[in-house]
Amino acid sequence: MNTFRSLLLGLFVLSLSGAAAAQATRTWVSGVGDDANPCSRTAPCKTFAGSISKTAVNGEINCLDPGGFGVVTITKSITIDCATTEGGILSAGSAGAVIINITDPSDPRKQVRLHGLDINGAGTGTDGVRVIAANGVELDHVSVENITGDALDVTGSVNVTVKNSNFRAAGNGVNVDVASGISAVLVSDTTISFCGNGILSQRNAIVGLRSDSIIFNSTGLAIANGGQIWSYGNNSVDGNGTDGAPTRILAFK
């Protein structure tokens, strides 16, 4: 019996070490990859969803060459970086191209960085990036267009930074509506155009604007249910059906 138990324990330990080995710190996706691959540079995966399951917490997914890499739900701290090539997500008919929902207590950082993604809802995708739960999220050089809902939708108590990005042809460019807690979203050097609302700040939300162009929307700046919009005063809010106004002007730094 002791020998049998020892054998079972040994098999269990081996299975755990095998699972750990499957989690790489850096993985790769390619337009000609295969999700059956280990997602290494020489054997890349095809989709973000396939790669994320093989990427360790706090790891990184890189795009090896141009491609459309599919919608993805992120439940752990990770970076997706496609800055050097086309990192496309065609999200037609999808509720969200990128959904971020990190609640695992064993992941204390709960940080996500998206860099160099091109999201197209093709007129039927609902949201571009949906942030439900995390500590911090950064969008850098992220393009979202042709979305029926929100290019960026924030419903969790999260700190979000958006920079050097482009949101167009969406129900709302940025929509922040948090039932409890406070969500702070800083948008800088970003263009938001041809949306219903460029910025919609709702419950428990503070949206900061710095060096942005919010143009040609039905409403530029919209506030509801106690939301706040703070501006550094160096934004272009012009050419909208109704431009709107921030709730506070901050000193430019």
Mean pLDDT, range 127-154, rounded to an integer: 98
CB 154 within 8 A of CB 120: no
Select the more confidently predicted residue: 204 or 252. Answer: 204
The reported pLDDT for the residue numbered 14 is 42
Q: Is residue 8 very low, low, confident or very high in pLDDT (cuts 50, 70, 90)?
A: very low
Q: What percent of the chain has pLDDT over 90?
A: 90
Phi-psi region of 192 (alpha: psi -120 to 50; beta: other; left: phi over 0): beta
Mean pLDDT, range 196-200, rounded to an integer: 98
Q: Is residue 253 very low, low, confident or very high in pLDDT (cuts 50, 70, 90)?
A: low
pTM above 0.85, yes or no: yes
Rounded distance, CA 182 to CA 155, Å? 10
Q: What DSSP string describes 41-92? A: SSS-BSSHHHHHTTEEEEEEEEESSSEE---EEE-S-EEEE-TTS-EEEE-T
- Range name among 16-20, 43-47, 155-159, 180-184 with the lowest pLDDT average: 16-20
CB 203 within 8 A of CB 182: no
Mean pLDDT, range 150-155, rounded to an integer: 98
pLDDT tens digits, residue range 83-109?
999 999 999 999 999 999 999 999 999
Q: Is residue 17 very low, low, confident or very high in pLDDT (cuts 50, 70, 90)?
A: very low
Give the torsion sign (CA, 241, 216, 246, 235).
negative
pLDDT of 213 higher than 90: yes
**What are the residues facing 221 on neighbouring strands?**
199
- Range name among 15-19, 37-41, 88-92 with the lowest pLDDT average: 15-19
Mean pLDDT, range 140-147, rounded to an integer: 98
CB 73 within 8 A of CB 99: yes
pLDDT of 20 higher than 80: no
Q: Where are the domains of the chain?
A: 63-249
Rounded distance, CA 63 to CA 116, Å? 10
Mean pLDDT, range 116-138, rounded to an integer: 98
- Domain 63-249 adopts which CATH fold? Pectate Lyase C-like (2.160.20)
- Range name among 4-8, 89-93, 108-112, 145-149 with the lowest pLDDT average: 4-8
Q: What radius of gyration, in Å, describes the C-alpha atoms of the chain?
A: 20
The reported pLDDT for the residue numbered 16 is 41
The letter for the amino acid at 218 is S
Rounded distance, CA 71 to CA 39, Å? 17
- Range name among 15-24, 40-49, 85-94, 148-157 with the lowest pLDDT average: 15-24
